[in-house]
Amino acid sequence: MAQATRGELRMTIVDAHGAAMSGTVEVRSLASQVDLELKTDSKGLVEAHDLPFGTYLVQVKQVQGYALPQSVEVRTASPQELTIRIDTLQLTANVTVQDTTLVDPHRASSVAEVGAQAIATRLTALPGRSVQDLVNIEPGWLYEGNAVLHPRGSEYQTQFVVDGLPLTDNRSPSFGPEIEADDADSLRIYTAGFPAEYGRKMGGVIEVNTTRDTKPGLHGSVVLSGGSYDTGAAFGRLQAVWGRNTLTTTSSGSMTSHYLNPVVPQNYTNQGTVGDFSGRYEREVATEDRFAVSLRHEFSRFQIPNELLQQEAGQRQYGDNEETTGSASYQHVFSANAVAALVGMVRDHGDGLNSKAASTPIIAAQRNAFREGYLKGSLSVHRANQEWKAGFEADTTFLHERFSDLITDPTQFDDDTPETFAFAASRPDLEQAVFVEDLIRLGNWTVSAGLRWDHYQLLLNKQAFSPRLSIGRFIPAWNMVLHASYDRVFQTPSSENILLSSSSAITSLSPEVLRLPVQPSSGNYFEGGLTKGFCQTVRLDANVYRRDVRNYADDDQLLNTGVSYPISFDKAVIYGAEGKLSLVDAHGMSGFVSYSYMVGNSWLPVTGGLFLGDDVAAATSQLNGHFPDSQDQRNTLRLRARYQVVPRVAIAGGLLYGSGLPFEYTGTAQEALAQYGAEVVDRVNFDRGRVRPNLSANASVIAALYQNESREVTLQVDGENLNNRLNVIDFGGLFSGNAIGPARSVGLRLSTRF
């Protein structure tokens, strides 16, 4: 409900006389990675929800009779009715049906789709990052430390949209609990051509659609996994469907000794525990009305990894976060051409940091929390070849921040830094938006146009209009779509410790203080590209892009505490090219290879944030010049291939390569050796100011241990970093600056579906 460019199919199976028949309907799209098998009820009815706009092949199975497969286009939010008539006289037929769903002829921009099969056979992830790992294999995305996703060079500007509800705060393992990938049915990933209904965080948008099976009765899944680093996890989902009602519950828990990315290969102090519970009730009140309520509670508890000196001193730091979300949604179909949706959410979130007495160079304590109230309404109207959508968003977040510290090693700080400091503050963050968008089909041309207005009020009071335009041209003879897009974006600053960094109380930390209000970022995103199909089994997606951003958002840390807060620079220019070649299915083979080239630079001066001591002189004296963006990894290559050896056994393998991120280290070589050791220092190039290239090979064996019509048991064994290279992801200062990838490891996942 209330999501962008999604529709619904309502299908009925009847015989030659119009009487209802029971059976199974297969709905498939290679472009959208949708492959559904849906059983009808006793009246021959079945519904396919949350279908991305596109072309689908619909085929009936398990009936007494025959019906030709049909190509159906889903281009409207209003439910589409489809009657499938069965010829009961013609029991067999030899018909070759061409699947034309590999390339969507009416897609006006680049969108990455991750379907149920890719989710089910993914590499086993460490706790807290299963969805992030799925996104990270797409071109244009990369990790910094601790599974922080960065789309096309953006810093902390990733937005998750879970079942229509936007989550604009940092969702990496150290900041917020994740939605477990086993609870996801599909992902849709935008890095350009954003619908106007999305705003605020616009580096990239990830739509997460949780699993909702419409077949009647009781069904679900249980997933058990474990492996290296004393990792163990369990996930369960139970769903009951009766009449017009659907009740879904999920629960999961995991633990590991490798929760965050360690700062040294020894992986000191890195225990983590994660858990969550959710419940969702959905009722089709009438044919035209659908209502849903949901509740989710999540938490994580983890240690902060030590470097060598901290481990020797006996430091112990602990982080935690907890979140409870309640939501309700309502959809009403006015007619075959108009549908309205209303969705609301209340979310309580808290995260903290605690340090034991032996911590060095500082004992830090933090407890931040917020309560968010969110409301969105939309109206979609289909008219001839147009799909209009208009709506509003209102978001109110009450921020609460508490921080204190005690310096234990004064040699790491300026002489005038006070030994202790404490801070507490609260303030509301008010954001509103309205939007209108239109998706127009003109023969082989497709135009998506939209306009959004945003208002932001926290430390500043700002507003902006954001036009969006995407154009696609389908060339049938070449089975190719050419597309181009322009997005004007208005991005609000990260709220993490924004009250602390902007408070006048911070002036007590140093006689030299520079405080500049962090402005919202504004930018122009440009993209051009193509999608082409070859032989109904191979698809090429290629794009070139450029992003010009004013008040470019970044982050910094308070003294040496690891407590981050937002800053901004005058501007940034990011440009690059990316491509992905996908093999859908050819004699048991499938897979992809993707490549990204990116160049990112930020320009001085600084325009927002907090600067103390010597950093003040540096910030005020450097009024021009540029430096590499912290996500400026020039070359990124990813490969994954799968082969179905026999009907129940498949093997897979892949590679991940990155040419290395830039770094800035202010210490001496001796200090680096003392903190991180020779192994880590050997993996960075101080002359170039870049981490040396990383490479990781992986392999999997996937076996279906048991299969029948209603049950399936699958075992997957994964080996990662089989080449056992010490992969340094980031290199930098204390606490949060360093990040080491996992060593050679093994993972096992046993999935049972019933």
User: How confident is the model over 359-406, as pLDDT tens digits?
Assistant: 888 888 999 999 999 999 999 999 989 999 999 999 999 999 999 989
Question: Residues 117, 65: one domain?
Answer: no
Query: For all residues of the chain together, what is the average pLDDT?
Result: 90
Question: Where among 50, 85, 120 does a domain terminate?
Answer: 85
* DSSP letter assigned to residue 62: S
Q: How many other CB atoms are found less than 10 A from the CB of residue 118?
A: 18
Q: What pLDDT does residue 4 have?
A: 64
Answer yes or no: is pLDDT of 95 > 80: no
Answer yes or no: is pLDDT of 68 > 80: no
Q: Determine, yes or no, domain membership for 699.
A: yes
- Alpha carbon 244 to chain centroid distance? 31
Q: How confident is the model at residue 7 (pLDDT cuts 50, 70, 90)?
A: confident
Question: Residues 80, 124: one domain?
Answer: no
Mean pLDDT (whole number) for 244-255: 95
Which among 245, 229, 359 has a CA at the least distance from the CA of 291?
A: 245
Percentage of residues of the chain with pLDDT beyond 90: 64
- Alpha carbon 634 to chain centroid distance? 22
Q: How many other CB atoms are found less than 10 A from the CB of residue 360?
A: 19
- Alpha carbon 257 to chain centroid distance? 24
pTM score of the predicted model: 0.91
Q: What pLDDT does residue 624 have?
A: 84
Q: Determine, yes or no, domain membership for 347.
A: yes
Question: Residues 667, 726: one domain?
Answer: yes
Answer yes or no: is pLDDT of 667 > 90: no
Mean pLDDT (whole number) for 70-79: 85
Question: Residues 71, 146: one domain?
Answer: no
Q: Determine, yes or no, domain membership for 90.
A: no
Question: Where among 51, 70, 85 does a domain terminate?
Answer: 85
Rounded to an integer, what distance in angstroms lies between the CA atom of residue 702 and that of residue 590? 14
Rounded to an integer, what distance in angstroms lies between the CA atom of residue 278 and that of residue 237? 9
State the CATH number of the domain containing residue 445. Answer: 2.40.170.20
Q: Determine, yes or no, domain membership for 550.
A: yes
- pLDDT tens-digit map of 148-201: 899 998 887 899 999 999 999 988 888 877 888 999 999 999 999 999 999 999
Rounded to an integer, what distance in angstroms lies between the CA atom of residue 624 and that of residue 54? 47
Query: Could you tell me the two tokens for 580?
Result: 């992905």
Q: Determine, yes or no, domain membership for 641.
A: yes
Q: Determine, yes or no, domain membership for 191.
A: yes
Neighbouring-strand partners of residue 468: 450, 487
Tell me if residue 478 falls in helix, strand or coil.
Answer: helix
Question: Residues 458, 508: one domain?
Answer: yes
Please give the tally of structural domains in the chain: 2
Q: How far apart are the first and last CA of the chain?
A: 26
Task: Tell me whether strands 80-85 and 6-14 are parallel, antiparallel or unpaired.
Answer: parallel
Which among 706, 417, 389 has a CA at the least distance from the CA of 560?
A: 417
Q: Determine, yes or no, domain membership for 521.
A: yes
Question: Residues 508, 563: one domain?
Answer: yes
Question: Residues 71, 185: one domain?
Answer: no
State the CATH number of the domain containing residue 56. Answer: 2.60.40.10
- pLDDT tens-digit map of 628-651: 988 899 999 999 999 999 999 999
Please give the angle made by the CA atoms of 328, 79 and 475, to the nearest 5 degrees. 120
Question: Residues 252, 141: one domain?
Answer: yes
Query: Could you tell me the two tokens for 518?
Result: 């962090």
Q: Which residue has the higher pLDDT, 708 or 214?
A: 708
- pLDDT tens-digit map of 512-569: 888 889 999 999 999 999 999 998 899 999 999 999 999 999 888 776 666 788 999 9
Block residue for tokens 């001085």 = 604
Q: How confident is the model at residue 480 (pLDDT cuts 50, 70, 90)?
A: very high
Question: Residues 623, 702: one domain?
Answer: yes
Answer yes or no: is pLDDT of 261 > 80: yes
Question: Where among 69, 85, 101 does a domain terminate?
Answer: 85
Q: How confident is the model at residue 735 (pLDDT cuts 50, 70, 90)?
A: very low
Answer yes or no: is pLDDT of 736 > 80: no
Question: Residues 51, 160: one domain?
Answer: no
Query: Could you tell me the two tokens for 10?
Result: 């309502």
Half-sphere exposure of 665 (CA within 13 A, CB side): 29
Give the start-end residues of each E strand in 669-754: 684-685, 690-691, 694-707, 712-720, 728-730, 739-740, 745-753
Q: Determine, yes or no, domain membership for 95.
A: no
- Which range marks the domain in which residue 689 is found? 111-753
Block residue for tokens 């430091």 = 315
Answer yes or no: is pLDDT of 2 > 60: no
Question: Residues 650, 711: one domain?
Answer: yes
Question: Residues 429, 478: one domain?
Answer: yes
- pLDDT tens-digit map of 131-161: 999 999 999 999 887 888 999 988 878 999 9
Q: What pLDDT does residue 620 have?
A: 80
Contacts of 154 (CB under 8 A, 6+ apart): 203, 204, 547, 553, 574, 631
